[in-house]
């Protein structure tokens, strides 16, 4: 009987641990779950918490969450990149540089690092870097929802629109796939202006999708955004 109780208890503990691990994994796609993950299991959640804290202006909490991330995942370059950004925000420049140097030796171009770097760059007014990170995420088709949210913030400024339009005008296949999904997240006028700027710069956008975007705005009563697109010539026409 005692053995059976011990086995049941052990199985219950394992089940709880499995739930925490799964919750941490799910927090990548659902950031709102990050606060629910207990610290010992918050590998992915710590990175998300760090970014959220930095964007909220809480550099101390951002740094603490980044430290937790490094404790749980000391080897991945993304952990070091997140820590570097948090340390820089907290004024610990030596630590930030050391972490970034170590990360660069390991290769850091994975989604969470891109998202963290883009968010931090945007907070610091580095629109060009933020645009690069958003493009990298959209091209990889990873963390798409978070990438589109970051895009929405980026093109909410004139400098951000100019920087992102410049990248839309460069060679790539991601632009076609991102054109319509972005319209569900980004402010209509901001996105219409960005697309128009990209077309003026010679962006090779899918003209049929540009027209569908214009029609979408018309259906939604966004006449100003639709008009901005209607006034543009699509080079592929």
Q: Cα separation of 2 and 194, whole Å?
A: 68
Whether 213 has a pLDDT exceeding 60, the answer reads yes
Q: Angle formed by the axes of helices 174-183 and 144-154, to 10°?
A: 70
pLDDT at 15: 40
Q: Which two tokens stand for residue 189?
A: 């006028």
* Domains of the chain by start residue, with CATH: 1-124 (1.25.40.10)
CB contact at 8 A, 135 and 170: no
pLDDT at 11: 40
| Range with lowest mean pLDDT among 71-75, 186-190, 232-236 | 232-236
**What 3-state class would DSSP assign to 97?**
helix
Average of per-residue pLDDT values in the chain: 80
pLDDT at 200: 92
pLDDT band at 217 (very low <50, low <70, confident <90, very high): very high
Average pLDDT value for residue range 123-136: 84
Task: Output the CA–CA distances (angstroms, integers) from residue 58 to 24, 66, 92, 114, 223, in the order listed.
Answer: 22, 12, 14, 20, 39
pLDDT at 41: 63
pLDDT band at 88 (very low <50, low <70, confident <90, very high): confident
Whether 8 has a pLDDT exceeding 60, the answer reads no
Average pLDDT value for residue range 77-88: 81
CA 200-202-205 angle, to 5 degrees, is 100
Q: Cα separation of 133 and 110, whole Å?
A: 10
Question: Rounded to an integer, what is the distance from CA 112 to the centroid of its chain?
Answer: 7
Q: Which two tokens stand for residue 131?
A: 């645009």
pLDDT at 189: 96
Query: Quick one: CA torsion of 155, 121, 128, 48, rounded to 10 degrees?
Result: -60
- Report, in angstroms and rounded to the nearest whole number, the Rg of the chain calculated over CA atoms: 21
Within 8 A by CB and 6+ apart from 211, the residues are: 234
- Give the best-scoring range by mean pLDDT among 33-42, 59-68, 186-195, 197-206: 186-195
Whether 93 has a pLDDT exceeding 70, the answer reads yes
Average pLDDT value for residue range 24-53: 71
Q: Cα separation of 15 and 198, whole Å?
A: 51
Whether 6 has a pLDDT exceeding 50, the answer reads no
């Amino acid at each position: 009987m005692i053995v059976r109780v011990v086995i049941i208890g052990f199985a219950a503990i394992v089940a709880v641990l499995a739930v925490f691990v799964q919750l941490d994994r799910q927090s990548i796609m659902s950031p709102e779950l990050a606060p629910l993950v207990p610290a010992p299991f918050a590998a992915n959640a710590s990175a998300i918490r760090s970014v959220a804290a930095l964007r909220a202006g809480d550099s101390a909490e951002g740094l603490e969450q980044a430290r937790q991330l490094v404790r749980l995942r000391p080897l991945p370059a993304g952990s070091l990149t997140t820590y570097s950004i948090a340390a820089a925000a907290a004024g610990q420049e030596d630590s930030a540089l050391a972490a970034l140097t170590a990360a660069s030796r390991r290769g850091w171009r994975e989604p969470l690092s891109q998202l963290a770097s883009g968010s931090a760059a945007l907070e610091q007014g580095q629109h060009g870097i933020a645009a690069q990170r958003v493009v990298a995420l959209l091209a990889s088709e990873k963390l798409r929802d978070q990438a589109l949210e970051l895009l929405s913030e980026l093109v909410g400024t004139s400098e951000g629109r100019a920087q992102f339009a410049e990248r839309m005008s460069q060679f790539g296949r991601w632009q076609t796939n991102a054109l319509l999904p972005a319209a569900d997240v980004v402010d209509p006028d901001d996105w219409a202006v960005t697309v128009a700027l990209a077309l003026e710069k010679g962006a090779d956008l899918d003209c049929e999708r540009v027209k569908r975007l214009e029609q979408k705005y018309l259906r939604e009563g966004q006449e100003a955004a639709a008009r901005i697109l209607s006034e543009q010539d699509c080079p592929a026409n």
